[in-house]
Chains A and B, each alone.
Chain A
């Protein structure tokens, strides 16, 4: 699959990911974006965790006026339908149900929007209907662009929403000049995580030194390898009392990935998290602030050297 990945835009794209939930992906993404932006780079931050987006909250930004994302659902014109059941038979999600001679009934929540039904309908009875699966918000502040994809609750198609968010970001990157894009992904290693990783140049895998953190880190490193995507590790909560720092470092070494930052536990980080302000902005001298600052510097110099 690696050989199919092509760089979609010139702008370097960094995906912040990590396998397990709650390891600090959004914290790293938001601080990295704010820090690079403060250093004069034009940064676009994209929240692709469409199930549970947090970037706007962590930046203290109120999202307004998003554009709706809609996907296809079949709209069956009853007068044209011959009740042949071709659409019922072809539907891979079994979203269409009906007996011979009847107009099929649609179970909208099952429909993936693939249009197979429309393609096989001989009397052309299936028209384009649309259902709203979420919103994409675009927000620009000085030097920092923010795009947030948000799945509509009760809607199951996270991968489709994630893809729409990535596409929106690429479109923005093609029409506006940015120095770097940072994509914050969902936890896990499923399709909605693969969508942003597919377009990325570098994955930062944020993990924590616990058995669960390292267990799940392995999965995300596997996914990155599968995609031929260079990955590096950010060890968050590195000095957690009783934690497995040494083991996490050993795992990274064994997997041949660099640990680019170790972020210590820091109540200042929690305070900034609660306040909706990036730590590197409000308290860069705190222990976690310094660790994040070092990461930002490292990434900045690599961006300037064209090494991402």
Chain B
């Protein structure tokens, strides 16, 4: 079984479009496949697959901790305010310390410096993991992080572990993981130990720059990787230079280009992967070629 992670430095370049098309292609070609959405801030993969048809599992995850101030005991010395590395401990209008929970990372240094024993650090809900069956038959694990929560790396690891275990039990050939944009903690937690990373980018200077940043993370964690250039077609020169650079300089395998295609948006609105919505669309043909390449070279 292979775990394939779809990632991108920049957001909105087409991760979910690539991931959903790949999963549906494999499923339609008789390969057992499992999917996981680890973009716990904006989990969109299930939506792109037409939503959940049946909820198979749902659980709350408590991975983070939050500080709490006992207002009776607080003496207003502000030691906690001074030491909090995240700016989460604040002077409240009442003259006591208070926690901006959205920014608290639960490290507990506030508790250590409090002379009045007024601070406790308690477990808090980090997010929720759900398994849904999609209308394509395969399952999708989705995680949703609670607002402003920080321990998304842990939630990502939970989801990946669950997906791998379920996929193994079901005899799946592949787990397709849709990652968050960026290069921080949740992305590192998504790519470490994966079998393959599909980096999606678009032929613009901003996307190129953030693709390069992602490539350094992928290289550092030594994961084999390929690149998909999405929304191609408006600058041939830029695209061919990007392609050469990605292969020659960054060492990525070139998986293919997907042209700009109005059908992609229509498919999104219909909540169907484009290759299912309109197999004749130019973008579908390109995505099918990419899926076949991934199938033959990774799986």
Contact = CB atoms under 8 A, between A and B. Distances in A.
A194 B102 contact: yes
Q: Residue among A92, A156, A190, A223 with the most chain B CB within 10 A? A: A190
Given A20-B12, A153-B183, A113 B85 contact: yes
Interface string B84-100: 01110010110000101
Given A115-B85, A212-B47, A276-B205, A156 B188 contact: yes
A81 interface: no
Give the interface size bracket for B toward A: 35 or more
A154 B12 contact: no
Contact of A227 (B8, B87, B102, B145): B102
Contact of B181 (A3, A21, A72, A159): A21
Nearest to A54: B206
Contacts of A5: 100
Contact of B44 (A71, A93, A216, A274): A216
Interface residues of A, number: 69
A191 B40 CA distance: 13
A189 B268 contact: no
Given A119-B109, A154-B188, A240-B265, A58 B206 contact: yes
A178 interface: no
B85 A191 contact: no
A4 B108 contact: no
B42 interface: yes
B162 to A, nearest CB: 21
Nearest to B94: A3
Given A54-B206, A112-B105, A241-B262, A163 B182 contact: no
Contacts of B189: 156
Given A57-B206, A163-B87, A270-B234, A211 B47 contact: yes
A226 interface: yes
A51 B188 CA distance: 12
Contacts of B41: 19, 187-190, 216, 219
Given A57-B209, A115-B83, A187-B11, A211 B147 contact: no
Q: Residue among B42, B87, B262 with the most chain A CB within 10 A? A: B42
A151 B183 contact: yes
A52 B85 contact: no
B204 A158 contact: no
Interface of B: 8-13, 16, 41-42, 44, 47-48, 65, 83, 85-87, 90, 92-93, 98, 100-103, 105-109, 112-113, 145, 147-150, 152-153, 180-189, 204-206, 209-210, 213-214, 216-217, 220-221, 234-235, 238, 262, 265-266, 268-269, 271
Interface of A: 1, 3-5, 19-23, 26, 50-52, 54, 57-58, 71-72, 90, 92-93, 112-116, 119-120, 151, 153-160, 163, 186-195, 198, 210-212, 215-216, 219, 222-223, 226-227, 240-244, 267, 270, 273-274, 276
